[in-house]
């Protein structure tokens, strides 16, 4: 019986990897550092988009670990970085369709920043991101809450 469940889990992960590859071809990496610009921050300070992108990229580049460096950990690190600059952010949590583990990312200025998915999502419009991640099975109950640190 345990072998049967193990095989189901392995097949599930293979499907996720394949779907991720298919999905990444047409909609991931919405912005790049090449089109990043400086913006006025929440507190009227100038936000250096290149620095934000570099910090995001460093978080995204850290190896994924289900227990110690998962989507929760990576998203909170990026939200804390933005908050340290006085920026308001939210965390979006999306439940999996099959009842499995959900997924988490950062919402900043109505755009998604997902340092966990491969390749990482930087500044994608929320509706486009949700449509794309639904292909991966994350289309269940979705909650967006302000990040309070």
Q: Output the pLDDT for position 94.
A: 94
Phi, psi angles (nearest 5°) of residue 27: -140, -5
Q: pLDDT truncated to tens, each residue of the chain (149 aa)?
A: 556 655 555 555 554 543 444 444 334 444 544 345 555 555 556 788 999 999 999 999 999 999 999 999 999 999 999 999 999 999 999 999 888 899 999 999 999 999 999 999 999 999 999 999 998 899 888 899 999 98
Tokens of 113: 């920043």
Q: List the structure tokens of 17.
A: 């990897």
What pLDDT, on a 0 to 100 scale, did the predictor assign at position 13? Answer: 54
Count of domains observed in the chain: 1
pTM for this entry:
0.72
Residues spanned by the domain of 86: 2-146
pLDDT of the residue at 72: 96
DSSP one-letter string for 61-93? HSPPBTTTBSHHHHHHHHHHHHHHTT---EEEE
For the chain, give percent helix, strand, coil, nearest 5. Answer: 45, 20, 35
Q: What does the pLDDT read at residue 128?
A: 93
Give the number of other CB atoms < 10 A from CB of residue 135: 13
Query: CA neighbours within 13 Å on the CB side: how many for 91?
Result: 18
């Amino acid at each position: 019986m345990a072998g049967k469940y193990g095989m189901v889990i392995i097949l599930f992960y293979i499907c996720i990897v394949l779907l991720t590859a298919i999905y990444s071809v047409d909609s991931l990496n919405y912005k790049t550092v090449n089109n990043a610009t400086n913006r006025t921050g929440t507190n009227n300070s100038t936000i250096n988009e290149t620095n934000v992108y570099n910090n995001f990229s460093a978080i995204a580049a850290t190896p994924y670990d289900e227990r110690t460096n998962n989507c929760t950990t990576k998203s909170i690190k990026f939200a804390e970085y933005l908050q340290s600059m006085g920026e308001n952010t939210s965390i979006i949590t999306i439940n999996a369709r099959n009842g499995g583990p959900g997924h988490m990312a950062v919402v900043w200025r109505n755009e998604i920043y997902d340092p966990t998915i491969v390749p990482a999502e930087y500044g994608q419009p929320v509706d486009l991101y949700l449509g794309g991640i639904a292909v991966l099975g994350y289309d269940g109950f979705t909650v967006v809450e302000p990040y309070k640190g």
